[in-house]
Amino acid sequence: MTNVNTMTGHYFWVAVYNDGTQLLQYDPAPTGFILHSFYEIDQKKLKQFVIVDALDNNKRYGIDFDPETMELIWYWKNSMILGMNASQKEAIRIVDTCFGWKKNIEGKVVKSIATLHEDGQIVFGDK
């Protein structure tokens, strides 16, 4: 049997609204944190979507958002690294943070998504 070593993501999102208010994915509360769903984000009022590194708050990755033309995309992508030989007994789970936007350009749906890896590398791609 293979054991799984979970590497949880250490990035969280912050939705910044036109009126200066914010919605944090993990909102501080007196008894811990309140976890907000991505679907709670009011995209009609969204000005900026920011991914913050919880291990270093100075590392931030953001997109300016136009609610008239864009639809926000955010999700986690899970991967497994499996041992290539019998001596490696556990698999490692890696969680990538993916974020970006989707919009209609001249009748075609275009997506721009950034994938932020646990080690800080970021890959940009358009579909």
Q: How confident is the model at residue 99 (pLDDT cuts 50, 70, 90)?
A: very high
Give per-residue pLDDT as tens, 108-124.
Answer: 999 999 999 888 889 99
Give per-residue pLDDT as tens, 29-74.
Answer: 888 888 899 999 999 999 999 999 888 888 899 999 999 999 999 9
Q: Can you give the residue ranges of every domain in the chain?
A: 3-126
User: What gap in Å lies between CA 88 and CA 107, rounded to an integer?
Assistant: 50
Per-residue exposure over 34-67, b if at least 16 CB sit within 10 Å of its own CB, e if not:
eebeeeebeeeebbebbbbbeeeeeeebebebee
pTM for the model stands at 0.81
